[in-house]
Structure 1
Amino acid sequence: MAKCEVLNGARWSVFSAAGFRRRLLEAMLCGVSNDPRRQIVERRSDRLADLLLVEARDLRSREVAEKRRKMEAFEELQSVVRRLQDTEEGIHRRRAEAAAEVRRLAKDSPDFRQSLALLGAIPPLVALLDSDDSDSLISALYALLNLGIGNEANKSAIVAAGAIQKMVSLIKSGPTPAAEAAIIANFLGLSALDANKAIIGASSDVIPFLLNAFRSSNSISSTQSQEDALRALYNLSISPANGVALVNAGIVPCILSALVDDTEFSEWSLAVLCNLVAASPEGRRAVSRTADAFPMLIDVLHWSDFPRCQEKAAHILMVMAHKSHGVERAAMAAAGITSALLELTLMGSTLAQKRASLILKILREEKGKQVVVSEPLGSCGASASSAATEEEEEEEGVSAEMRAVRKLVKQSLQSNMRRIARRANFPPEFSPSDRFRELTASSTSKSLTLW
């Protein structure tokens, strides 16, 4: 007989359905607390678990979507490259469209640039530079330009595929203005790689082409091409191997004329000259032989509103004074470099002051070498008298020069104080204090050395 238990006076079988439900309810309620705070904590835990579960599902969904997107993008890149590499007859338009697609895809994505190059997009794009269709040509040029942005391996591969020779052929054939701008932009991008500088400069047509583009000012739209051409010339001037080709193309007179005609390109122009005079003896000789080169550079030392131009002009003059002969130093002195350098040592930037001081030191040493005393054969009394006379004359000359220098320095200080006052919006009647005048007077009389 089955066991039974008594509950509230009734007999229930332990195996009855009612007993089973009762025991199930007791098991479910076992350990449940009526504490409200514990119930809140349990609900929060359940909610957190639900959120974590949802976040995990979302993360998996995003990973799957990202993987699918990458697969679709890779398949698209493969399709584009296959269309570029297709050599069947009558599909020229498809290749042109593929080049335009490469231009778009490579514009903003470093990953696409690398993938397209690995898939073999560069050789067919270079081959497309022989196209007679202007749209295809422009698309291929800008596609190559975008593939090389920030990717040295692609720049090297583009040159290795023969792009320089193709672009030179385009230059000789007379490209349209749009194609010319694209070619200049490519030379700028490719010349940024050190290994390409000598290769590009070795072509006898590239540097003259870039110089002509820099000189050109036919339209407002050519300003960007002018700047690109100048920056490409700057990249090429970094390599000493290109010094002779740059000088023979007439870059020094062209650059110096740009300092007079347009200050928009002055900093890049001076940077090109810095590279030429520092790395190439031919560059230094070209500067010294160019008419009014030193007066133009000395005039830049007065451009107080363009401190970087002052620094670069001072660098050029410093290298010329250090590595050139006495003729160049004499030409600098005759052009009035001393007064400009004195002003620069007072009011220039830290780098400009340092370079100006070095130039003044070089010129002072040069002046000391030129003072050679030769005594004629004769009586000692005549020799001593002649020496005394020369010392008196030299002392008088020094005094006159010192007075001129002191006057110049005072004028320069007062002029710069007025300029500072205007910039600081001080009232017009503002003037330096008496204490400042005393300090400047003492510095001009005691600290300055005649160079």
Structure 2
Amino acid sequence: MLPSLSLYSYIQKLRFVSRVRRFLCSRSSRKRFRLPSDPSDIPRPKVREIEQSIIRKYDQAVLQRTVKSLHFGDGDEKERAAKEIERFIKESAKVRKLIVDLGVIPALVAMADSDPLAVRALIQLANHTYLNKTLMVEEGILTKLPNNPQFTKMDSSSHEFPELLLSLSCLANTQLFLASTEPVISYLLTILNNSESNPKTKMFCLATLFNISTVLENAETLISNGVVPTLLRFSSIKEFSEKALPTLANLAVTSKGKQALESNSTFPEILIEILTWEEKPNCQELSVYIIMILAHQSWAQRERLAKSSVIVPALLGLALLGSPLAQKRALKLLQWFKEERQAKVGVHSGPQIAGIVEVGSGFSEKEIEKGKRMMRSLVKQSLYKNMEIITRRANGGECLSPRIRRTLVCSTSSKSLPF
């Protein structure tokens, strides 16, 4: 019995030793030969490279499938493809050139009149790329989209296409854009005159009109489409004034634009009212600039402006409290209105004077002298009164009072001049 027991224990020991050896061998082999599939055994740069390679292959496959759907898919597939293209461009600017090389711009332009997703993709493609904008214009986006009535309805609640037009309007001085300017202007005015259009859409339209107005060849087209009354209306709204006034200033330097402004009965009241907007210094500068253009070498327009009893007080306030540029322009206008609007002004310093009383006009020298003394007295009284009101405004005590503001605007007649 004893030998058998010792043999059994010996066998058990051998089994234990063999298990330990197998365990140690397996552990050492794992240290020497790790499986490459274990991510912890691969260096981090290598992991990133593998991941990026997988992502690139996946993105390329998705991009190829997206472009294929855009060219050959049905309506729903094309919409999804346009959305995917917008996402690709937002995530990586490097994809933009590849997508353009695959011919997506003609396909997106063909969809743009009925699919706002296509317009969004075109906006992303047009950003910071002159070539892509040129390709879109060559594909006829300017002549096709504005004439579609669906866009008028769509842009009442969205701003995709006006935003795209604003991006494309940097080509306003090119022959491609000039050939299609009239339908674009008509479309923009339709949106601006639509009461349902949102403010952001109107901002895009006004900014696009400004870019178009920077090219003098477009002035006649803008005026013939009736842009001046629309711009005057938006100039009187503080929210849009800074966008509308620069376009008016560009048009005012042309003969057609000056005639269109002069023939409008509301322009003096609107421009003079803007002179009192203390919180809008840029608008004040542009308004007084337009008034200077209209009054320069035009006795009829200076007479028309002088009939408004508020222009001199408004110019006085601007000359004292406005920005340096506005002050300079206001003082120049006040010089043009001095001495009963009959002072002789040089060719390069202001308007030419007409209508001077001739000898033998029926007034004796005594009557003329008496009238001059009376006028000087009225001018002094008006000047003292205006200076007192403006000084109170400058001191801040009563500058916000509506009564003071009305008094400043209405206190003087057209002949109560400061000089």
Kindly provide the amino acid, as one letter, of the partner of residue 269 in structure 1. A
Compared CA separation, residues 420 and 200, structure 1 to 2 (3 A): farther
Kindly provide the amino acid, as one letter, of the partner of residue 242 in structure 2. E
Matches within 5 A, 1:49-64: none
Cα deviation for residue 391 of structure 1 reads 3.6
Partners of 1:129 and 1:140 within 8 A in 2: yes
2:28 maps to none
User: Across the two proteins, how many residue pairs are aligned to each other?
Assistant: 351
2:34 maps to none
1:240 to 205, 216, 219: 216
2:332 maps to 358
1:372 maps to 356
- Higher deviation after alignment, 116-125 or 104-113: 104-113
Distance 2:358 2:75 in 1: 84
Distance 1:202 1:141 in 2: 19
| Structure with larger RCO (C-alpha < 8 A, sep 6+) | 2
1:107-149 alpha-carbon deviations (Å, 9 max, x no partner): 464333333223322122122346xxx5xx2221221122112
Distance 2:274 2:175 in 1: 29
Larger Cα Rg: Structure 1 or Structure 2? 1
1:164 maps to 142
Compared CA separation, residues 274 and 391, structure 1 to 2 (3 A): same
1:202-223 alpha-carbon deviations (Å, 9 max, x no partner): 444322221121122237xx23
User: What runs of 5+ residues in structure 1 fail to find an aligned partner?
Assistant: 1-56, 378-382, 424-448
Matches within 5 A, 1:88-99: 91-99=74-82
1:409-429 alpha-carbon deviations (Å, 9 max, x no partner): 221111232358889xxxxxx
SS in 1 for 2:342: helix
- The RMSD of aligned alpha carbons is 3.4
Compared CA separation, residues 300 and 178, structure 1 to 2 (3 A): closer
2:321 maps to 347
Kindly provide the amino acid, as one letter, of the partner of residue 239 in structure 1. V
Distance 1:413 1:121 in 2: 65
Distance 2:130 2:158 in 1: 23
Partners of 1:106 and 1:112 within 8 A in 2: yes
1:138-179 alpha-carbon deviations (Å, 9 max, x no partner): 221221122112222211111111111220342388654579
2:244 maps to 269
Partners of 1:201 and 1:207 within 8 A in 2: no
Cα deviation for residue 300 of structure 1 reads 0.8
2:107 to 124, 136, 139: 124
1:333 to 306, 324, 327: 306
User: What runs of 5+ residues in structure 2 fail to find an aligned partner?
Assistant: 1-42, 344-352, 402-416
1:106 maps to 89
Matched, 1:317 2:301: no
Cα deviation for residue 345 of structure 1 reads 0.5
Between the aligned residues of both structures, percent identity stands at 28
Partners of 1:201 and 1:236 within 8 A in 2: no
Query: Which structure carries more helix by proportion?
Result: 1
Partners of 1:138 and 1:182 within 8 A in 2: yes
Kindly provide the amino acid, as one letter, of the partner of residue 391 in structure 2. L
1:145 maps to 123
